[in-house]
Structure 1
């Protein structure tokens, strides 16, 4: 976490939030505040008052005076109404699998707070305030990743948020896992006593999948630029033909993202002042068609942003409580179909970047295709070439990561399962799609890290042979080259590269290199 004085404040209930807002609060770069806007405060107050009025009049409200899901036909006696939400949090405490990271947990908290702050969930100020305090004190629920079908929202994972608010589940706090009740006591915070609608309100929504989608989008957006820079480096390493990225050429196929990728590569290569011709009239597709491949993701991102941010700024609850108009509206806003489609689309486009980079490293290490570079980019004494194998295993690893990424592109959204006594008979699988997307992104980052080191090694060899003048390259590309060669010495003798690869993946995930600003 960064110093409190350096943080900006993110206001919930004031207006729409962006993907970048959620990423900033997930990384601890923002703290949370609640709006004091009159319209916002009126919506929250009216929702609470309206529910109290209905309960006093013995009104029938789903999940308040009825059982949940298929149990909707079972009326709950008024003396038990106040206990019902606590039972909801408890019987959903059955998640399995790995747990979400602290960063992912913060994104989930912020995303759910933003939905509740739309003012149509009938929740109290106590709940909103405690969610805010959790973010600001960096108290993060420990949430298992598995168990959500994406409708009725992320019930099981979000039950761990609800359970933490009432003091019954574990949280991350100060580098340790502790009981939330004990942590709240140490911070002079009071565990939440759930009002009749509040268990359902915090659990019956798309916060987990949407939070993961925000994080996935941010990483994918960076990969567009990194794959572009990697193509520039690979083209130089292979002594490729820079005319493949000509601005006139790309003017006749006007996909904006594709054109931008080509323009970035032209700038990297200083194309107009240092055009390069290859021995081959046409480079292989993994170089020549790279703008067309990367451009698919670049051109898809604006549409994905619209889907994700619409979901982020929605009241994705059921029932919707219109306190001012005094309506209880039963529907299906917990359904995560838009996020499922966004993540299924994103992971396919990202996996194509892994496939592209895998083909680029395959060309770089293969002396049949790499235009005179040593086999496997091993840059040592020729008398020792018989025992040195350079990037051979790194390329095998890249192929393995790529295969796994491609395997995971099967769309999760088509695997709906009827569940919960056929009440939830068509579900989104949005959370599985989002988790898949993050895994595909991780694997793709590993492929790009592998190929990036190989391309840097290729440029080092070209430069040593006087086959490439570094001062002919754009400043940004040259700066990145020097940064990587600073921690990645010449591979002249075989050595383990795991640590270097992990450091490079970390740099990618931290978006260390400021590309094409």
Structure 2
């Protein structure tokens, strides 16, 4: 099946094979990420059971309205205003007011990729079939994704329960033809974009504003994107450590399989195996009498392994939240139940994000320490100061990676500062109705920032460590042909793009290019997992 989607640069349809189908099974982190990156279109299930569940929810709500039933957020006010009974002739206006009074987000705006992830994540929750929404709403969300009409959503304003109310109000508003969207290369009022595709603003049914807004879609979408980045960093961190060990003439026996068999953490052992394969027990004359390398080399599997071992828990928890109905109330149309609860509470995502950002920041700290060893002639076993490749007569005025190391220290410090858990900063708000909240969205935003900072440290480390290895080869202390073929290929790629720093030059462009490449997972690392 081919579905037309829109290229954001041209606003022209492009073909997408095998769309991700919502409503017929669990959606994965990888699928949300692929949708966010415009690698897949989306579709809705045509299975009779799914169609019946969606239609039953709508019919049940219509029946309750005819019977003058009391439904939170449908015939009552919101939050602490639950005691306010809304006249039946105003219930169709109520969702619009909910959307408008929550239009107070501030801060930077989520990117197109993040916005698409948010749309897909909310679609996943609503297609569980327990939110009382209509097919008209689901089709509109699907169309926005396939046409790349992406709400422009401020990042700040959510306490993570009742869900991501304020940021998701921008999704709801765009569905009814209000506020701005990313479209092509522009930011435009959605009311100007809809006619281009023969779309009409939705008239939301009574429960639908609440169904869109009262959930964990923002924090969960960010968690999906964060997971993919964190997983890749465990691989890249292992590769950088192997290169650092080579550059520092390290002891490859620190990663021995017998050694690691006596401490059976699976992720830690995987990291040790990756580094061991990269090193292939290459040994070199050592300029030190130290039997053991310093901790940032010797204990790297134990540091990287913490994150690696946490990934299965992260994935299971994020995907459970992703594939949940997480608004309130829950509408069981087939069984005809209205169930009031607190599924909008983002505690699980908050805990995952607080834990992930701590484990990721430890990688920044690890590579900052490795950089310190590489730069300092007291610890780098004969490499030039600051890894400068200057000729002897030019060494007096060249400073190599001195400032890059300072940058790593700054980025690492900022990453470590952000590891304070957001989830413990619950605040009572909204007339003490929301008196215990998750702060899951703040935790997720913190995690993405920690990932960015750690990626910067790793980009700098990769640039420096490849220079260090090249210096060893040039000094005759390391034979290129003795290296693992994967290491050889990566070094050749890096050297083509980033020649040796012999004479001082600005490295910002090189660093930004490397950050972009590692965020795009440019290097296929350790595929035999």
Interval containing the TM-score (normalised by the shorter chain) = over 0.9
Deviations 1:183-202 (A, max 9, x none): 11111011110000000000
Task: Please name the residue that 1:47 is paired with.
Answer: 57
Q: CA deviation at 1:475?
A: 1.4
Match of 1:98, SS state, is strand
Deviations 1:137-194 (A, max 9, x none): 0000000000000000000000000000000110000110111111111110111100
The answer as to whether partners of 1:269 and 1:474 remain within 8 angstroms in 2 is: yes
Aligned-partner Cα distance in 1 for 2:223–2:279: 34
Task: Please name the residue that 1:173 is paired with.
Answer: 183
Q: CA deviation at 1:8?
A: 2.8
1:147 paired to 2:167: no
Task: Please name the residue that 1:415 is paired with.
Answer: 425
Task: Please name the residue that 2:4 is paired with.
Answer: none
Of the three residues 359, 365, 387, the one matched with 2:369 is 359
Deviations 1:302-335 (A, max 9, x none): 0011110000000001000000000000000000
Q: After TM superposition, where is structure 1 displaced by more than 6 Å over at least 4 residues in a row?
A: none
Aligned-partner Cα distance in 1 for 2:17–2:484: 34
1:342 paired to 2:331: no
Q: CA deviation at 1:480?
A: 0.9
The answer as to whether partners of 1:92 and 1:159 remain within 8 angstroms in 2 is: yes
Deviations 1:96-121 (A, max 9, x none): 00000000000000000000000000
Q: CA deviation at 1:86?
A: 0.5
Match of 2:43, SS state, is strand
The answer as to whether partners of 1:269 and 1:472 remain within 8 angstroms in 2 is: no
Task: Please name the residue that 1:106 is paired with.
Answer: 116
In structure 2, relative to structure 1, the CA distance for the partners of 1:243 and 1:276 (3 Å cut) is farther
The answer as to whether partners of 2:418 and 2:450 remain within 8 angstroms in 1 is: yes
Structure 2, unpaired ranges of 5+: 1-6
Aligned-partner Cα distance in 2 for 1:248–1:489: 39
Of the three residues 211, 216, 219, the one matched with 2:229 is 219
> What is the correspondence of 1:251-400 to structure 2 with a 5 Å cutoff?
251-271=261-281, 274-275=282-283, 278=286, 279=288, 280-400=290-410
The answer as to whether partners of 1:241 and 1:277 remain within 8 angstroms in 2 is: no
Of the three residues 24, 31, 35, the one matched with 1:14 is 24
Aligned-partner Cα distance in 2 for 1:471–1:327: 70
Task: Please name the residue that 1:90 is paired with.
Answer: 100
In structure 2, relative to structure 1, the CA distance for the partners of 1:427 and 1:384 (3 Å cut) is same
Task: Please name the residue that 1:451 is paired with.
Answer: 461
Match of 1:30, SS state, is coil
Q: CA deviation at 1:344?
A: 0.2
Aligned-partner Cα distance in 2 for 1:307–1:102: 25
Deviations 1:456-481 (A, max 9, x none): 11011001111111111111111111
1:468 paired to 2:441: no
TM norm structure 1: 0.99
Aligned-partner Cα distance in 1 for 2:204–2:76: 16
The answer as to whether partners of 1:9 and 1:33 remain within 8 angstroms in 2 is: yes
How many residues end up aligned between the 2 structures? 515
Task: Please name the residue that 2:439 is paired with.
Answer: 429
1:514 paired to 2:512: no
Aligned-partner Cα distance in 2 for 1:5–1:135: 13
Task: Please name the residue that 1:198 is paired with.
Answer: 208
Aligned-partner Cα distance in 2 for 1:431–1:391: 37
Match of 1:16, SS state, is coil
Task: Please name the residue that 2:508 is paired with.
Answer: 498
Cα RMSD, aligned residues only: 1.0
Q: CA deviation at 1:218?
A: 0.3
Q: CA deviation at 1:381?
A: 1.4
Structure 1, unpaired ranges of 5+: none
Aligned-partner Cα distance in 2 for 1:229–1:380: 26
The answer as to whether partners of 1:111 and 1:211 remain within 8 angstroms in 2 is: yes
Deviations 1:194-226 (A, max 9, x none): 000000000000000000000000000000000
